[in-house]
Amino acid sequence: MSPEQPAGDLEPVRDPSAAPGPAEPVTITVCPDGPLLVRGGYELLDGDDRPIDPGRATVALCRCGASSIKPFCDGSHKRARFRAR
């Protein structure tokens, strides 16, 4: 903090590599012939509603069914020749 900047004017410092907060809007982008890219304040849960830590702010979710690291995309959609717009 600089001496001339009042403490009340400071924005919270956020680690850009940390997962986004829940107040951030979620966007889901459909990649042609590939995964779903999820960004924003999402929470990823497994089939028993337990949280999955994706370890990153943006995650690629498999929609072809060929990934060996489901629910994440591992690039297998290319070998599987997955086609979907």
Give contact residues for ligand FES (rule: CB under 6 A).
34-35, 62-64, 66-67, 73-77
**DSSP secondary structure string for all residues of the chain:** --TTS-GGGPPPP--TTSPPPTTSPPEEEEPTTS-EEEESS---B-TTS-B---SSSSEEE--SS--SSTTB--SHHHHTT----
Task: Name which of 22 and 65 has its Cβ closer to ligand FES.
Answer: 65
Report in angstroms how near the CB of residue 63 gets to ligand FES at its nearest.
5
Q: For residue 7, report the phi and psi dihedrals to the nearest 5 degrees.
A: -60, -30
Task: Name which of 2 and 73 has its Cβ closer to ligand FES.
Answer: 73
Report in angstroms how near the CB of residue 39 gets to ligand FES at its nearest.
16
Task: Name which of 19 and 67 has its Cβ closer to ligand FES.
Answer: 67
Report in angstroms how near the CB of residue 4 gets to ligand FES at its nearest.
51
